[in-house]
Amino acid sequence: MLAELVLGGLALAGAPREDAGTAATVPLCPAAVEEGWMASEGAAYMRWELVQQFKIGVDQLDAMERLFRAFEAAGLDVVAPLVPPRPLADPGRILVGERAYDRAQVLEQYRALVRWLGGHGIVVVDLAADAMAGWGEEPPFFSRFDDHWTSGGARVAAQRVAQAARGLPALQQGPEVAWKTRLMETLPGQSALFRRCGEGFGETTRYIYGTQRAEPVGLLDELPPPSAVAVGTSQSGPNSNFIGFLREYLSRDVSAYAVPGGGALSGLARWLFTETNPDTRPRLVIWELVMVHLFSIPSDAPAIRQAEFFRELIPAVAGDCGAKALATGTSTGGVLLRVPPAARAQGDGYYLVFTGALPVEFELVLRHADGDDRHRFEAFDRVGPVPTRFLSLDPARTGILSAVRAAAAFPDGITTRLCKG
């Protein structure tokens, strides 16, 4: 099956790995060793970074492919800089147990993921060669003691994104804006290893960059909205200046939804649940994807292994249908919406939009002619509170939707719309 061929089969379980031998490695403090940190001759890694077999189930693959189709239907151009596993770039020998980290195996899976994403309409930016070539640069592509790229890696990634985006229709929609980047200061860096172990461990140098418009903006000048959006993790945060570099190399303003520790989906979800009007969103989406995060991320962030979450995420790509709604209701006494029979809402393509002072967590009952469908909206701390939630109808349901009710106490005044994608 596709899941086994693309990501599971290429894991090559049991593939031979060279014996690691012995070599002097970066010193680790007892606290880091206790947490499972491992080291090479020139770097240190957290345990989850050293995954060598990447597997994904059929249900999750299907959900991702439906998400990609939703991107296409919404007219979005999605450019994904795919951040490779950090150990892949390290030329030193890394012990994983009593074996060496198998770069050939991991690189094969990385390239398989590049092909799979590209085969579903995503413009993938392959960063493996840049990461490996940049290991010995200053600053290097990746931090040697932290699970992030440096400002050097962010700059290279932004250049590659700009090259990949040339010619895309979405890039032509917004006005060109000149930006300039300059080195602001150089500071001692506090890596993840330094924060864990203290002085003498994982000390680095941070290069702080700032990016500003090349031409000053007057107080009364009306600025056009950003013509691109970047969604991702702390890799897209201010420490690396990735967003600033994107602005410079794209010559466009770029808004950012970066969720530290949020994995593959939190930044995307925060953007889609916040900017819900499909007519005013940017059409160029830079989706910063960390390969390891696709398969191993914190449990309180939406993950591709949580296929049920895609019932909320995919309709958000289509956005709030507003006045085009097939039916609209305001919650009263636990009833959110009564659906007129003429709407004939059932199966794929129909979805619900909820706006107002929503509870952080709540459970709804969708009453279909062939039985009830229950869905619980979870609180994802890393996404944060959002003003709008979405839910697609279960495509397996053949009965027409007649009502939407709360499974427990629910506030009055919440607006619910039934939309057709």
- 325 and 354, same structural domain? yes
Type and span of the H or E element at 354 = strand 350-355
CB 211 within 8 A of CB 179: yes
3-state helix, strand, coil in the chain (%, to 5): 30, 25, 45
**Amino acid 18: pLDDT:** 38
- Position 296 scores a pLDDT of 57
Decide if 87 contacts 103 (C-beta within 8 A).
yes
Q: Which domain holds residue 348?
A: 320-420
Residues 388 and 342 in one domain: yes
Q: Which of 317, 345, 366 is the last residue of a domain?
A: 317
**Structural contact between residues 89 and 153, judged by C-beta atoms closer than 8 angstroms:** no
**Cβ atoms 255, 294 nearer than 8 A:** no
Q: So what's the pLDDT on residue 300?
A: 52
pTM value is: 0.90
Residues 53 and 201 in one domain: yes
* pLDDT for the residue numbered 19: 37
Q: Please report the pLDDT score of residue 302 as a whole number.
A: 61
Domain boundary among 259, 285, 317: 317
Is pLDDT at 305 greater than 90 in this prediction?
no
Same domain, 400 and 354: yes
Q: List strands edge to edge, sheet with 362-368.
A: 335-338, 401-406, 362-368, 371-377
How far apart, in whole angstroms, are the C-alpha atoms of residue 241 and residue 401?
48
Q: Are residues 23 and 77 in the same domain?
A: yes
Residue 32: helix, strand or coil by DSSP?
helix
pLDDT band for position 23 (cuts 50, 70, 90): low
> H-helix or E-strand containing 255?
strand 254-258
Write the burial class of residue 138 (CB in 10 Å: 0-12 exposed, 13-18 middle, 19+ buried): exposed
At residue 1 the predicted structure's pLDDT band, cuts being 50, 70 and 90, is very low
Among residues 38, 59, 61, which one has the least CA distance to residue 50? 38
Check whether residue 281 and residue 354 sit in a common domain: no
pLDDT tens for 252-300 read 999 999 998 888 888 999 999 999 999 999 999 999 999 988 775 545 5
The SS3 call for residue 222 is: coil
Look at residue 316 and tell me whether its pLDDT is greater than 60: yes
Residues 243, 162 within the same domain: yes
Kindly report the average pLDDT of the chain as a whole number: 88
Instruction: Report the SS3 class of residue 420.
Output: strand
**Cβ(315)–Cβ(73) below 8 Å:** no
Co-location of 134 and 256 in the same domain: yes
Read off the CATH number of the domain in which 349 is found: 2.60.120.1380
194 and 123 within one domain: yes
- Over its C-alpha atoms, the chain yields an Rg (Å, rounded) of 23
The domain boundary residue, chosen from 317, 344, 369: 317
Per-residue pLDDT of 207-219, as tens digits, reads 999 999 998 876 6
Does residue 354 sit in the same domain as residue 264? no
Pull the structure tokens for residue 71.
């991107």
Residues 288 and 239 in one domain: yes
Structure confidence by residue, pLDDT tens digits, 83-120: 999 999 999 888 888 889 999 999 999 999 999 999 99
* Number of structural domains found in the chain: 2
| Structural contact between residues 187 and 151, judged by C-beta atoms closer than 8 angstroms | no
Instruction: Please check whether residues 115 and 143 belong to one and the same domain.
Output: yes
pLDDT at 20 over 60: no
* Residue 195 neighbours by CB under 8 Å, 6+ apart: none
Distances (CA, A) of 5 to 2, 88, 107, 293: 5, 22, 15, 20
